[in-house]
RNA sequence: GCGCCCGUAGCUCAGGUGGAUAGAGCGUCGGACUUCGAAUCCGCAGGCCGCAGGUUCGAAUCCUGCCGGGCGUACCA
């Protein structure tokens, strides 16, 4: 990619090669190019001389000056190079170099910043995976947004991504769910019975009971719990799961695969996985239970996989599940979990290592919890407790775009206060509208240009007029457009999407200021052409980034 | 008790492997529309980066110890 930053980086690398002793260090040192806050320090700066100085036992300034002396710049990329402070090297780029970024963007706008698909490199992102015992809440929504965007991002960076939802449709919680519906059903039919503790008492269970009566009538009025339970369990889990799918759909989240925990048991994979681990020497018996020796891989204690009563644990199923993922040929598995599961990370990593996989083949992203507020007051959140705000209600009230954008503007491991009144009432000042407004504004410019009969084709226009872009904000915009691939790369490396919203804000802010001070459609046709090229590139990158975030890019608003 | 995460402007949050004068939004206050969209722009104010040590040319960032908050510490899922 002919991006200024990369060209500069390889220039420095070549220069470094002729330094004494660099050959031994090349593998362990990477050249970092920083964009200085102070423009007096150049377009790019590097602290590379410091890193070398430590290893070569020489003065950083000395190394910096040798580095500069070795720089070869046949294309005239650099206008000026300086040594500053104790050994920074500051690079000033020739303004003509920025123009090629526009062509780079416009040549293939949808794919700008993306990488070619890397052939056979299947990666799975598993996310949400909420139990089908109640509607999705706001915390699931955060995980959904992050998982969805990480999947988009990895795909954009060349991975072959599969999105999967793991359905915990087994275990005694399913019985609890069925009983909850059964009791609500009886109550709705007038039976004066108590609703037991530790069951799902949310309003949705009452609705489900009424719906069930509408479908099946009073058939089960006098049926015993034991006899009726399978019907009620099946009905409740199916209907709740359908609701979850619908809520995700409304939130713009799609999955390639829905993986049922129950099928693990039906295919006998849980038992087979335990046998497999036993053959490898990681299973032992103690006090009537079967244990997995997770301490062999750094977990703080061993974990039970089959209880003394003969029933396997949730963890055992999860081991089987992860084994199955690799059986399916996945190279890397990314699990997105709520931060309240962090105690679980070590044991699952121990599990996959016991299966002969390396630790890096599973990456766990912990998403911190969401504190839902309304006007500064906490809103209670508990599935069994009953009253809580669902994801669907939040999306209906705040809007999909704003909800996603708020989730995606924080680091995943940072707790998030989500205030409904703030997200909604100040909607005009919401950062997502700031970005969308810029996009709509840009669309309008092209509409006006058409109305005025101004014909514009970026390919011919760019060749003859881009050199006219010399205003400071224009140079800054082009430079920032050039950073976009870097931003995507950082997101994909760190599995942190929040750099994208921050980048968008920066880009859009620069554009709004530029727009305010300069006319894009002016008297000089050549200059107008040039500015339209720039405007088009900005618009395309905004749309490109919003698409990755799953946020719409409206033409009008 | 032990383990993990977090303490940055009044509020909500950014600050890749240590880098130059710590940033943004909101909020406060004051300015800018006969022009391509004012859902915008410009400016002012706001900080012992939880506290105390340490490592070094250099620390919000790394190490140690405190203080304060969240979560986890099941033969639950």
The CATH number given to whatever domain includes residue A486 is 1.10.730.10
The radius of gyration of chain A's CA atoms, rounded to the nearest angstrom, is 29
Q: Rounded to an integer, what is the distance from CA A124 to the centroid of its chain?
A: 13
Element (H, E) at A491: helix A472-494
Residue A402 lies in a domain: no
- Residue A180 to residue A210: CA distance in whole angstroms: 13
Residue A339 lies in a domain: no
Residue A3, pLDDT score: 81
- Residue A5 to residue A168: CA distance in whole angstroms: 47
- List alpha helices for A190-255, DSSP H: 203-216, 225-250
Low-confidence stretches of chain A (pLDDT beneath 50): 1, 383-384
Q: Smallest CA–C1' separation from A261: which nucleotide?
A: B77
Closest to A147 (Cα-Cα) out of A347, A432, A407 = A407
Look at residue A162 and give its three-state secondary structure.
strand
- Largest pairwise CA distance in chain A: 92
Is the CB of residue A336 less than 8 Å from the CB of residue A161? no
> Chain A, 422-451: which CBs lie within 7 Å of strand B?
426-429, 431, 433-434, 437, 440-441, 443-445, 448
Residue A382, pLDDT score: 52
Residue A381, pLDDT score: 57
CATH number of the domain enclosing A14: 3.30.1360.70
Residue A252, pLDDT score: 96
Residue A380, pLDDT score: 64
- Residue A246 to residue A240: CA distance in whole angstroms: 10
Is the CB of residue A129 less than 8 Å from the CB of residue A488? no
A417 secondary structure, DSSP code: E
Q: Which residue is nearest to nucleotide B77 (CA to C1')?
A: A314
Residue A335 lies in a domain: no
Distance spanning both ends of chain A, measured CA to CA: 35
Tokens at residue A324, please?
């199955």
Q: Give me the CA A522–C1' B36 separation in Å, rounded.
A: 9
Q: Give the Å distances, CA to CA, from A326 to A105, A196, A261, A363.
A: 38, 41, 16, 13
Residue A389, pLDDT score: 82
A378 CB and strand B closer than 7 A: no
- Which nucleotides of strand B lie under 7 Å from a protein CB? 3-7, 12-17, 19-27, 35-42, 57-58, 70-77
φ, ψ dihedrals at A481, nearest 5°: -60, -35
- Residue A68 to residue A197: CA distance in whole angstroms: 74
Count of helix runs (H) and strand runs (E) in chain A: 20, 14
Please tell me the total count of domains within chain A.
2
Element (H, E) at A434: helix A431-451
Residue A85, pLDDT score: 84
Residues 6 or more apart whose CB falls under 8 angstroms from that of A264 comprise A170, A270, A317, A320, A321, A324
- Residue A336 to residue A141: CA distance in whole angstroms: 12
Q: Smallest CA–C1' separation from A83: which nucleotide?
A: B20
Residue A76 lies in a domain: yes
Closest to A331 (Cα-Cα) out of A152, A119, A122 = A122
Residue A74 lies in a domain: yes
Look at residue A83 and give its three-state secondary structure.
strand
Tokens at residue A270, please?
């849980």
Q: Give me the CA A336–C1' B72 separation in Å, rounded.
A: 17
> Chain A, 334-353: which CBs lie within 7 Å of strand B?
339-344
Q: Give me the CA A30–C1' B17 separation in Å, rounded.
A: 9
Residue A433 lies in a domain: yes
Sequence length of chain A is 557
The last residue of one of the domains, among A60, A76, A93, is A93
Q: Rounded to an integer, what is the distance from CA A9 to the centroid of its chain?
A: 28
Across-strand partners of A313? none
The last residue of one of the domains, among A40, A66, A93, is A93
A411 CB and strand B closer than 7 A: yes
Q: Give me the CA A448–C1' B12 separation in Å, rounded.
A: 38
Q: Give me the CA A40–C1' B55 separation in Å, rounded.
A: 32
Q: Smallest CA–C1' separation from A452: which nucleotide?
A: B36
Residue A553, pLDDT score: 97
Residue A534 lies in a domain: yes
- List alpha helices for A495-521, DSSP H: 499-517
A311 secondary structure, DSSP code: P
A463 CB and strand B closer than 7 A: no
- Helix, strand, coil percentages (3-state) for chain A, rounded to 5, are 55, 15, 30
Residue A29 lies in a domain: yes
The last residue of one of the domains, among A61, A93, A125, is A93
Element (H, E) at A374: strand A370-374
A375 CB and strand B closer than 7 A: no
Is the CB of residue A45 less than 8 Å from the CB of residue A89? yes
> Chain A, 204-233: which CBs lie within 7 Å of strand B?
none
Residue A387, pLDDT score: 56
The domain of A493 spans 429-549
- List alpha helices for A217-344, DSSP H: 225-250, 261-266, 269-279, 314-327
């Amino acid at each position: 990619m002919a991006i200024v930053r990369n060209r500069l980086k390889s220039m420095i690398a070549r220069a470094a090669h002729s330094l004494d002793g660099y050959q031994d260090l090349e593998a362990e040192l990477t050249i970092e190019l920083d964009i200085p806050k102070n423009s007096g320090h150049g377009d790019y700066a590097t602290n590379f001389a410091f890193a070398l100085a430590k290893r070569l036992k020489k003065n950083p300034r000395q190394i910096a000056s040798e580095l500069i002396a070795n720089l070869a710049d046949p294309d005239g990329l650099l206008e000026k190079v300086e040594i500053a402070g104790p050994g920074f090297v500051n690079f000033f780029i020739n303004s003509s170099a920025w123009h090629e970024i526009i062509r780079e963007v416009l040549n293939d706008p949808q794919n700008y910043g993306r990488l070619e698909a890397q052939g056979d490199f299947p990666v799975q992102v598993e996310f949400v995976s909420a139990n089908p015992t109640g509607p999705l809440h706001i915390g699931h929504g955060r995980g959904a947004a992050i998982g969805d965007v990480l999947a988009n991002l990895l795909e954009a960076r060349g991975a072959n991504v599969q999105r999967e939802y793991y359905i915990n449709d087994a275990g005694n919680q399913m019985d609890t769910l069925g009983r909850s519906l059964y009791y609500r059903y009886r109550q709705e039919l007038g039976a004066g019975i108590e609703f037991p503790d530790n069951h799902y008492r949310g309003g949705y269970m009452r609705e489900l009971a009424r719906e069930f009566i509408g479908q099946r009538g009073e058939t089960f009025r006098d049926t015993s719990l034991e006899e009726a339970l399978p019907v009620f369990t099946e009905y409740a889990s199916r209907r709740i799961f359908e609701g979850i799918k619908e809520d995700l759909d409304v939130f713009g989240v799609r999955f390639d695969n829905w993986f049922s925990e129950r099928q693990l048991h039906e295919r006998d994979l849980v038992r087979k996985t335990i046998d497999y681990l036993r053959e490898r020497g990681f299973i032992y018996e103690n006090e009537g239970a079967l244990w997995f020796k997770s301490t062999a891989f750094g977990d703080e204690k061993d974990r039970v996989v089959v209880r003394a009563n003969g029933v396997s644990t949730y963890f055992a199923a999860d081991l089987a599940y992860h084994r199955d993922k690799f059986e399916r040929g996945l190279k890397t598995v990314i699990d997105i979990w709520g931060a309240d599961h962090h105690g679980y990370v070590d044991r699952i990593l121990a599990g996959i290592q016991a299966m002969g996989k390396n630790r890096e083949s599973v990456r766990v992203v912990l998403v911190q919890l969401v504190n839902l507020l309304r006007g500064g007051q906490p809103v209670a959140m508990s599935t069994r407790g009953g009253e809580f705000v669902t994801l669907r209600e939040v999306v209906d009230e705040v809007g999909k775009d704003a909800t996603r954008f708020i989730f995606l503007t924080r680091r995943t491991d940072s707790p998030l206060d989500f205030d409904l009144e703030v997200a909604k009432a100040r909607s005009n000042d919401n950062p997502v509208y700031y970005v969308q407004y810029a996009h709509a504004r840009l669309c309008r410019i092209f509409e006006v240009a058409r109305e005025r009969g101004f014909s514009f084709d970026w390919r011919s226009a760019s060749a003859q007029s881009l050199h006219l872009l010399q205003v400071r904000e224009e140079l800054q915009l082009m430079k920032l457009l050039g950073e976009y691939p870097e931003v995507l790369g950082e997101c994909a490396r760190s599995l942190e999407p929040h750099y994208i919203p921050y980048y968008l804000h920066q880009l859009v802010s620069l554009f709004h200021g530029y727009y305010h001070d300069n006319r894009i459609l002016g008297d000089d046709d050549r200059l107008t052409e040039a500015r339209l090229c720039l405007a088009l590139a900005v618009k395309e990158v905004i749309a490109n980034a919003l698409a990755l975030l799953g946020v719409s890019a409206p033409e009008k608003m």
